Amino acid sequence: MNKILISVVGPTAIGKTKLAILLAQYYDTEIISADSRQFFKEMNIGTAVPTNEELNQAKHHFIQHKNISEPYSVGDFERDAIEKLSYLFKTNEVVIMVGGSGLYVNAVTDGLNYFPTIKADVREALNFELKEHGIKYLQQKLERLDPVYFNKVDIHNPQRVIRALEVTIGSGKPYSSFIDKPKAERGFRVITVGIKADRAIIYDRINHRVDLMLTAGLLEEAKEVLPYRNYNALQTVGYKELFNFFDDQWTLEFAISEIKKYTRRFAKRQLTWFLKNENTIWFDYDYEQNHILNEINTEVLKLKNG
């Protein structure tokens, strides 16, 4: 238990990659990415994958290691990440993890909640209902069958709503009854470091990042992956909106405004998720490097000596 995982969290566009690299260089160690949008080779600009320069500054794992056609669940990631950590801790006292995907971060630090196997026809029926009646119909069904989870989940995410209904209907028990189980035992300790800023600053940084993505070729990247639009990996902000533009449903100007809007909403949900962890050590986005390194190293030494 003298091995330490430093987990860097926070909303999108806040500077997590920069801090992770700073820490990796300070501890002469490697980085595990827990950003589920950055797993796929075909998605580069729209997922803000670290630049080649950043990747060369510190060794990264789980960056563009899958094809979008390959199913890769949070359970798969938990298994692979724990295996990788076991290997890295053989030669490193400290390893860095970075990412804004809260569920994937928690899978590594705390373990996943496990659910019963559900027959495939339950999900098929729910997908049919989504197509025929829309998301609002499924939202109302979830609110009726599992009001506890309804008040926690992002009800505008059809995958999350369908998954909750699938388990609830297939098992006969509310989805919420399967979550919040005791934490998994890990062979390492965790220090969680968060980066935050005023909401206006976060939103400005998001808007600026989207503009930079478009300049870098996001439109062309989205066009290249358009034939694969039905894969789960592409059911994400930054691509779905441009697909609507390609379908002549939206103007490009409106699609861009929607990307910015939904990314801002995503950032708000990220903060809500990460703020639930009372043990997170928070720093402002414009932190002074020596100060943050001293603060984090103090926590590392406490764990090692405690």
Residues making up the binding site = 10-17
Buried b (16+ CB within 10 A) or exposed e, 150-174: beebebeebebbbbbbbbbbbbeeb
Rounded Cα distance between 140 and 120, Å, is 22
Using an 8 Å Cβ cutoff, are 270 and 11 in contact?
Answer: yes
Using an 8 Å Cβ cutoff, are 65 and 30 in contact?
Answer: no
Using an 8 Å Cβ cutoff, are 2 and 68 in contact?
Answer: no
The three-class DSSP label of residue 193 is strand
Sign of CA dihedral 99, 268, 217, 69: positive
Binding residue ranges for substrate: 12-17
What are the distances in angstroms from CA 63 to CA 2, 165, 253? 27, 31, 30
Pair of tokens at residue 109: 């630090």
What radius of gyration do the chain's Cα atoms show? 20
Q: How far is CA 135 from the centre of its chain?
A: 22
H/E stretch holding 74: helix 74-88
DSSP state of 47: T
Pair of tokens at residue 295: 């603060």
Binding residue ranges for ATP: 10-17
